[in-house]
Structure 1
């Protein structure tokens, strides 16, 4: 290849990063690295003070009706990000899940069977690996669900780096598994990381039913749904169930279709996806990925908690998903995804071990009262996610050969 051709290919690859799904994954990696560097630099104190410093003061929250302990958590920027801003992320997840259930891949029983089976095994096996590594120790048990989640943006970002070398059927498989995975993660948060208060739960249910009635009445004013969502968020915040669940519930009430073909759900989803991907999730990552490595060497990776989380993501995810796909196909329960090979299925199974956003979120909930264990969990998450991303990329890079698809896409990178 001549020098001008090499330069042309390099420029083409660089541009493709910003046109494909790759950019979201690259952005998350960059944000995480910056957060870790800052948390271990001379401005670490300012970094922690920014997110953990008091915003309003106790006297302010004492004057506000509701669950004082929970509202006091919102006295920090970290609290507003995790319990407030992340509602947008979960709202977008809810919109995506509803759309997929009504008119997408999850609406077709033939197409959803394999991803659902794979996602279920891909959540169960990491938990078993986690418990095996920690020996079921009670100090760590709260974190067993941390390696059960898959980060859609991160995983699809790695796929984006490979351009169209990865078969479309496998990209669709990965996306569907990640969506089902999100449903499971939301259920885990609602069931295992909540301390429900009956009165506020009933009020939240009442608001949710009103929003469903608005849907049935074909209300077309988005502003009414926005107001109702804010009210629902406040009620869920006080209910003891994590506030972000309000985002998922609210999303399920947004109308999908109307008589004239207008889709409020799709319009809202298209409007919010860029904000969620390029603002909400990076801010969350920057606020939560910063872990101090002071006094921690490589030996810290061998501590029970980070080792269990990393092993759950790297080993548990790929073993659970790949073995389930293999068994389901061999037993004739489902068909192999079209146009792909077993090594490619293995590569995608490895990528499902990238658990950045949702794993960090669950880790914050699991070890809320223990900064040391919370930091150890972050080390395990970042390590396991990085290994899964690199290993998955290498396997797919070496096993995918689909030049006919790459030839059809002028924007695909030359890899």
Structure 2
């Protein structure tokens, strides 16, 4: 008979996640700064040549974006599964506030972007770019504030970002998939079924899942669906339960073991390398008009204004309707500050931007400019609001319902 996982350890795992993401966000900031410096220095030709150098069938840039980033999406998928089955998103009351806030935080930026670009069908393809929140960057900014931000508000931000990532994954799978190879897609479905069969059969060793996961990545890559989706699909098949003997021996569930091993490499290697490879924006190639281009404004204001309105407005609505409570110990000004931080949309926004405009360098340059300006202003605004508030904040909200 199926039983609930014996060793989920949701609180320690969430704390470890928050700590690694916050520190990784600082490393990501440094990587993005280095990329900007390289792209605007005498080393720029070598930087670009290295990214486009062929390594086997792919360039270095494509190995990073299509293969290395699979580990990031694998970790995202495991975090989604863990939090929905046994963590902060395990019940509907817990999902209400971050869920509605994430939905509003995706819809409003997309509408603002569409409002600026609706007359240009090519630019409109990037409508999802400002919908993403970069949890590593946001938590990195929060980490600079110490205990000025209540822990419950950090958990709210993490939960919102996890739901946000789920939405981004679905958007990539549905809207940024080119021509499909049905044979490869069919074989990928069979491999996914085999992975699910391993789970149902009670296989708790990780190596069979990882071997089949490698095959799944290859088939998804060949199918036309973006290869990183294979990481999320694999994550959903990895068991979050331990067998009786294993549980008695104190061995953690396979998903927890793999998540633990991946958190730091992803936070301190995979995502910074992605930032180093993709944040380089040659400013000399952009005209002054790029600052006021519809695409730049759509992305920048979508992140800075749209995210704040969507997240804060949706959270205020569900709290006023009595569907959720303000996070414990948090105040409305602190909620506003965290809502501003949600406008930091670096990693996933860049990723979606490259999918939308990979073949149009001019538009991709405007995307990067909008992401950097919008994220920078949102981060500074959120940090300033939270920094100026008294420790603990006024009028803390009631204890959340469980």
Common fold, TM-score beyond 0.5?
A: yes
Partner Cα distance (2:196, 2:59) in 1: 33
SS of equivalent residue, structure 2 residue 226: coil
- In structure 1, the residue matched to 2:71 is 88
Partner Cα distance (1:202, 1:21) in 2: 36
1:347 to 2:337 alignment: yes
TM-score with structure 1 setting the length? 0.86
Partner Cα distance (1:54, 1:201) in 2: 26
Deviations 1:353-407 (A, max 9, x none): 111100010011000110111111111111111111111000111124229xxxx
Deviation at 1:224, TM superposition (A): 1.1
Query: Unaligned regions of 5+ residues in structure 1, if any?
Result: 1-18, 57-73, 404-415
Partner Cα distance (1:333, 1:106) in 2: 15
Deviations 1:35-59 (A, max 9, x none): 1111111111110110112234xxx
Deviations 1:47-89 (A, max 9, x none): 0110112234xxxxxxxxxxxxxxxxx5200011000000000
1:128 to 2:111 alignment: yes
User: Which of 157, 162, 170 is equivalent to 1:187?
Assistant: 170
Deviation at 1:106, TM superposition (A): 1.1
1:225 to 2:215 alignment: no
Pair 380,127 (structure 1): closer, same or farther in 2 beyond 3 Å: same
- In structure 2, the residue matched to 1:49 is 49
Partner Cα distance (1:296, 1:241) in 2: 32
- In structure 1, the residue matched to 2:374 is 384
Q: Please tell me whether the aligned partners of residues 173 and 225 of structure 2 are also in contact (alpha carbons under 8 angstroms).
A: yes
- In structure 1, the residue matched to 2:228 is 244
Greater shift, 259-268 or 185-194, is seen at 259-268
Partner Cα distance (1:106, 1:152) in 2: 16
Q: Please tell me whether the aligned partners of residues 147 and 391 of structure 2 are also in contact (alpha carbons under 8 angstroms).
A: no
1:401 to 2:391 alignment: yes
- In structure 2, the residue matched to 1:27 is 27
Q: Please tell me whether the aligned partners of residues 152 and 328 of structure 2 are also in contact (alpha carbons under 8 angstroms).
A: yes
Q: Please tell me whether the aligned partners of residues 20 and 160 of structure 1 are also in contact (alpha carbons under 8 angstroms).
A: no
Deviation at 1:104, TM superposition (A): 0.4
- The within-5 A match list for 1:2-401 is 22-56=22-56, 74-195=57-178, 196-259=180-243, 260-261=246-247, 262-296=252-286, 299-401=289-391
Q: Please tell me whether the aligned partners of residues 300 and 374 of structure 2 are also in contact (alpha carbons under 8 angstroms).
A: yes
Partner Cα distance (2:89, 2:173) in 1: 22
Partner Cα distance (1:30, 1:101) in 2: 32
- Bigger Rg, which one: 1
SS of equivalent residue, structure 1 residue 105: coil
In angstroms, what is the RMSD of aligned CA positions?
Answer: 1.6
Deviation at 1:299, TM superposition (A): 4.3
Partner Cα distance (1:215, 1:168) in 2: 34
Count residues with an aligned counterpart: 369
Greater shift, 260-269 or 89-98, is seen at 260-269
Pair 298,28 (structure 1): closer, same or farther in 2 beyond 3 Å: farther
Deviation at 1:112, TM superposition (A): 0.8
Deviation at 1:151, TM superposition (A): 0.6
Partner Cα distance (1:330, 1:101) in 2: 25
SS of equivalent residue, structure 2 residue 365: helix
